[in-house]
Structure 1
Amino acid sequence: MPPAPLIVFTDLDGTLLDHDTYSHAEADPALARLKAAGVPVVLASSKTAAEIAPLRAELGFADVPAIVENGAGVLEGGADAPAAGGDYALLRAALDALPDDLRALFTGFGDMGAGGIAQATGLSPAAATLAARRRFSEPGLWAGSDTDRIAFLALLAEQGVTAREGGRFLTLSFGGTKAGRMDEIAARYDHPYRVALGDAPNDIEMLEAADLGIVVANPHRAPLPPLKGEAEGHVRRIDAPGPKGWNDAIERVITERGL
């Protein structure tokens, strides 16, 4: 891949996409400027490859790799979403091996089905069907106490399963992070200046590992705690939420970097 003047890694729901409508319209001006400047925009989300592939093409970055399922996998540039593969069946088996009382407190996408996913997320039935096409990870809703959650995660950890908290769901996988994938993809572009944007706990590692991390406001959840590098200006916060905040942040970066 050719060297890039800058590379942008971005979370989707609540960051580039509006929390309620999933629209990116308010970020379109900055997206267009990045595209014109030859800046790759890497989508980094808990969404599946099946969900991200059409969105990536709609945004005009179909040739750029995307980080899928919270970093558990990568969708290569120009590729369609694979229909099968991954270790999702093993992940579901690990869940079902838990004691019944703990297992009952977690309702994963595989338990919900497309109809339940649509109800839990507000996605259309067609979009929920794509969200159900998981290959590497299992998002779900937790209904137990903090004590039960500690026990739940400890038993899963014995099977090699890790957990990430996102804007809506607790997501389980066998590993891989947005931050780790960010390093891998940036290397393909000769290590340009890395900007990362996010709003949720599962974005923290990516935000702290970037040259510049930008926390986009999300009024639907508690603010993220102070992050490593924030006092020194390596992480900044944008007051406007969602795609409006994303656009404001990127317009400022474009000006500062002289693009």
Structure 2
Amino acid sequence: MKPSMPLLVFTDLDGTLLSHSDYRWDAALPALKQLEKIGAGVILASSKTAPEIHQLREDMGLHHWPAIVENGSGRLEAQANAGKTDSIYARLCSVARKISANTGGGFRGFGDMDAREVSDITGLPVPSAALAKQRSFSEPGVWSGTAQEKENFLLALAKEGISGREGGRFLTLSFGGTKADQMERIIAEFAPHHTLALGDAPNDVEMLEAADFGVIIANPNRTPLPLLKGETSGRIQRTTLVGPEGWNAAVLAHIERMKL
């Protein structure tokens, strides 16, 4: 009989496992190695595209685990190369551009930018920014209009079945699906003894609350998340260290606390 997986970790990337300033993750390497040693799984869960996550997953040695891509609107299977589906993305961008034009024109998505522009607003090198533009299910972008125009934009999108979610840097549009939705399916597949989720932004909240244990990673570059269900009981905790340093400390502390 196959032994039960002791722990399955779901983690956001930007501002969580990746540094907000330079996208490095080497500070989290001790915890990643310890997770591998105890037989735990690590699921990357991000608004990033499948091509972006494919490369990161390879670099981190996590290619044998599935990943949650584009904010939960898609999934990259274990060992799989990143493909691209154009039809959903093209329809999403078409509707979003039309509604933006009718509500003040404040939304500018990655599809409206070239790789250099995406590089400038993300801090990614141009080749990595080009991967960020290879989208299949969702469209991140920046908002330049008023708060009222933004509210009107989001209400009009909702009537077309499109949700808008605030992440660490961008407003991301999709036809639905959250990190927690994909998380539920992956948990059913791997049946871990328990789960741990780590994130820093509003689009991580469902994932943090759905896990057995959650960690909010400190990110001084954005407004802190409000008090979440589970914090008063200690099921969800917050770090003082930021980014991958906070991730590393939190994961190692969890492994020790659970005697894994």
Bin for the TM-score computed over the shorter chain: over 0.9
Residues 1:246 and 2:257 aligned together: no
Q: How does 1:131-210 map to 2 (within 5 A)?
A: 131-210=132-211
Cα deviation for residue 97 of structure 1 reads 2.4
Q: Which residue of 1 aligns with 2:53?
A: 52
TM-score (normalised: structure 1): 0.97
Deviations 1:102-127 (A, max 9, x none): 26200100011211100100100110
Task: Tell whether the 8 Å contact from 1:96 to 1:103 is kept in structure 2 after alignment.
Answer: no
- Closer, same or farther: CA 53–194 of 1 in aligned 2, 3 Å: same
Q: Deviations over 1:158-216 (max 9, x none)?
A: 11000110000000000000111111111111143110000011101111111101000
Q: Partners in 2 of 1:3 and 1:159 — Cα distance?
A: 43
Look up the match of 1:40: 41
For these two proteins, the number of residue pairs brought into alignment is 259
| TM-aligned CA deviation for residue 222 of structure 1 | 1.1
C-alpha deviation, 1:54, in angstroms: 1.0
SS of the residue 2:255 aligns to: helix
State the secondary structure of the residue aligned to 2:90.
helix
Alpha-carbon distance in 2 for matches of 1:247, 1:240: 9
Unpaired segments ≥5 residues, structure 2: none
User: How does 1:1-259 map onto structure 2 within 5 Å?
Assistant: 3-85=4-86, 87-98=88-99, 100-102=101-103, 104-259=105-260
User: What does the per-residue CA deviation read over 1:26-79, in whole Å, with 9 as the maximum and x for residues that have no partner?
Assistant: 100000110111111000000000000011111111010100000000000010
Q: CA deviation at 1:83?
A: 3.4
1:221-249 CA-to-partner distances (Å, cap 9, x unmatched) read 11110001110111100100000000000
**2:114 alignment partner, SS class:** helix
Does the 8 Å CA contact 1:44/1:178 hold for their aligned counterparts?
yes
- Over aligned residue pairs, what C-alpha RMSD do you find? 1.3
Question: 1: distance between equivalents of 2:56 and 2:44?
Answer: 9
Identical columns (%): 51
Say which SS state the counterpart of residue 97 (structure 1) adopts.
Answer: helix
2:31 and 2:150 map into 1 onto residues whose CA distance is: 40
* Higher deviation after alignment, 85-94 or 242-251: 85-94
Does the 8 A contact of 1:35 with 1:60 survive in 2? no
Q: Which 5+ residue runs of structure 1 have no aligned equivalent?
A: none
Q: If the length of structure 2 is used for normalisation, what is the TM-score?
A: 0.96
C-alpha contact (below 8 Å) 1:72/1:176 kept by paired residues: yes
Q: CA deviation at 1:84?
A: 3.3
2:21 and 2:28 mapped to 1: Cα distance? 15
Flag as ranges the 4+ runs of structure 1 deviating above 3 A: 83-86
